[in-house]
Chains A and B, each alone.
Chain A
Amino acid sequence: MRAAFSILQKDLRMEFRSKESLLAMWIFSLLIFVIFNFTFEVSRLVMLEIAPGLLWVAFIFSGMFGLNHSFAVEKENGNLRSMALMPVEGGQIYLGKFLSVTCIMLLFEILIFPIFIIFYDLQISMQMLMLIPVVLAGTIGFTSLGTILSAIAVHTRNQQILLSLLLWPLVSPIIIWSVTLSGMVLGGDLPASFYSLLTRVVAFDVIFFTISYMLFDFILED
């Protein structure tokens, strides 16, 4: 755990120091909301239907950005290779990178959510608290997969293309379910299927995380 937390601490320190990626992520999602809000002349009802999808578009793009940035830093001076030389289990390195990418993505989601509420003029209610487990589960699914795939993609020349190619097919069920779950929370009373669907997302998270944790040693070896 000590090693994982050292990685987390280092990453957060660098992220807050440069701020560039946090700011870029924030502006980008602002743009998404602005564009969709003003280009489509649709009724409020339709808008509310697509709002959860837009929210996740903003989340996912920021997540992609965060992932790319987090691993670009590791690639910069051969640092990923230096990690492979350290007397630390691959799983610990995975955990460290996973935690930092997840923290940054969650932080960003907290920043973007108020803007989302304002743009779509949503009623704040107690039920919105149910978004917390939904966003957590969806985000962890995305970052647990994204972290290992980024580490694989770093070794290749067209890093971002490969990352997208590998990531999207695997992560899309989680995203689709997260959008559905968010829609349920924002759309009034929770249907009974809410909890079973949420459990399914959590189950996927656990599977992705466990497999990645165990496989990370092989990925560092290249």
Chain B
Amino acid sequence: MSVPALQIDKVSKDFGRIIALRNVDLIVQPKEFVSILGRNGAGKTTLLNIISGVAKPSSGSVQLFGTDPTATVNKAKLAVISHEMFLYSNLTAIENLEYYARMYAVSDLDQRIEDVLNDVELRHRRFDLVATFSRGMTQRLTIARALLHKPSLLLLDEPFTGLDQHAIGMLIGLLQEQKNLGRTILLTTHDLHTAKALSERYVVLEKHRIIEDGLMADTSPDEIRTKFFSGLTTEKEL
């Protein structure tokens, strides 16, 4: 059996008196696409932060590709899209991407930047300051930045935030492409239909624990909603 892309053993995390995660176990194999579902405050973001290494678990252990998440080899493989956009507003789109490309030692830098700008349909604004971008355009640039170094593990925390219908379709297309390229992807979202369309596996976080770990093929968005998020009528509230 190959080394898992991600192995989480008995991870707990608390912030002072606030419990965020309790004894979470999760193994994700390379090329898997897993949706992480759960209500506000369930611990999804905390879990992704622990996987990426920016937060330390209070107890338990995390391994990426068999080693420590903060090992340089792992950092080079990892892409994170989070609530924070990781962009300098006083730089243009292309300057931001150039900076990232250098930090990740991306080869064939100009071509790669050109490609990701086309992917997110921002080429026409490449010489504009990020400060002048709309929310959705900023999010698109964040996505371009994350794909720049061809990461093999993607951690996406509500990446659809701020995107219009067209851009949502564009990102779904990009993620499907990433999946076909054999990337391992973890996605948190409140949109069950998108989760179903993209991922083959889902986990539900509730009260700091994983209460369900199943295959999308065996269920439907409606079934997930009634089972885990009942009492709520719209997906938005989920």
Contact = CB atoms under 8 A, between A and B. Distances in A.
Contact of B90 (A6, A14, A85, A87): A14
Contacts of B85: 77-78
A169 B131 CA distance: 38
B106 to A, nearest CB: 11
Contacts of B90: 14, 17-18, 73
26 contacts: A9-B99, A10-B95, A14-B88, A14-B91, A17-B90, A73-B88, A73-B90, A76-B88, A77-B84, A77-B85, A77-B86, A78-B84, A78-B85, A81-B86, A82-B84, A82-B86, A83-B103, A84-B53, A85-B53, A85-B75, A85-B80, A86-B103, A87-B75, A87-B104, A88-B72, A222-B54
A157 interface: no
Band of interface residues on B: 20 to 34
Interface of A: 2-3, 6, 9-10, 13-14, 17-18, 73, 76-79, 81-89, 221-222
A151 to B, nearest CB: 15
Given A78-B86, A85-B78, A6 B54 contact: no
B105 A2 contact: yes
A77 B141 CA distance: 13
B86 A13 contact: no
Most buried by A among B88, B89, B103: B103
Contacts of B53: 84-85
Given A6-B99, A10-B95, A81-B84, A86 B89 contact: no
Nearest to B73: A87
Nearest to B49: A81
Contacts of A73: 88, 90
Question: Which 9 interchain pairs have the tightest Cβ spacing?
Answer: A78-B84, A87-B76, A82-B86, A87-B75, A6-B102, A14-B90, A77-B85, A86-B103, A87-B72
